[in-house]
Amino acid sequence: MKPKDAATLLLLDRDKERPAVLMGKRSSKHAFMPNVFVFPGGRKDSSDWRVKSDTRLNEAVVSKLMERTHSRFSHATAHSLAIAAARELHEETSLHLSKNGELFDLSHLRYIARAITPLGQNRRYDTRFFTCFCDEVEMDLSTLKDSNELTELQWVDVQSPQNLDFPDITARILNHLRHSLNEDRTLPHTTKTLHISNK
């Protein structure tokens, strides 16, 4: 089974004493990883490449997204993955990656991880993990609310995660985020990307 493209957004709140990342519990109705805590995200839609944004991805992020890809992977593909991450965040949490709730602001996104679901799973995804700080886009956090996709939304301390039920992949990426923040709290666009696959 060929993995389907997907994207996830690790939204960070650094107004707290220590950085916290937004997570929620997947519905029990999900065929893939039900009842576990994850970051907002999901499959890339065929229409995502046509969605306009307020700003472009940082060139360093585009360059990293282009690495280890097939020949048909283009700048438009990179854009559509970032749009998918922003769209899924909005659909699952009601938070909008913008100042005005209109066009998505992609300029602050960092690309920190890529994970391909191992063979043998009932669903397979090639997921790109993006992150950004909510204050960078002056996001209105008062609109945060649960959805049919994610419930029990909460800000999880990156340095000392609560005792939540994480999938192994989520725990590994959270650990990578922790190390990246410890190296540089600003998370430069050139932050190292973690690659996880079954190969």
DSSP line for 144-162: ----SSEEEEEEEESSS--
Per-residue confidence of the chain (199 residues) as pLDDT tens digits?
Answer: 789 999 999 999 998 889 999 999 987 665 566 689 999 999 999 999 999 999 999 999 999 999 989 888 999 999 999 999 999 999 999 999 998 888 999 999 999 999 998 887 778 899 999 999 999 999 999 999 999 989 999 999 999 887 888 989 999 999 999 999 999 999 999 999 999 986 5
pLDDT for res 198? 60
* pTM of the full structure: 0.94
DSSP tally for the chain: helices H, then strands E: 3, 8
Specify whether the CB–CB gap between 106 and 82 falls below 8 A: yes
pLDDT for res 45? 96
Residue 151: CB partners within 8 Å, gap ≥ 6?
24, 25, 27
Q: 59-66 and 75-93 helices cross at what angle (nearest 10)?
A: 100
**Chain centre to alpha carbon of residue 3:** 17
Specify whether the CB–CB gap between 35 and 156 falls below 8 A: no
Specify whether the CB–CB gap between 22 and 143 falls below 8 A: no
Residue 94 has phi, psi (to 5 degrees) of 70, 0
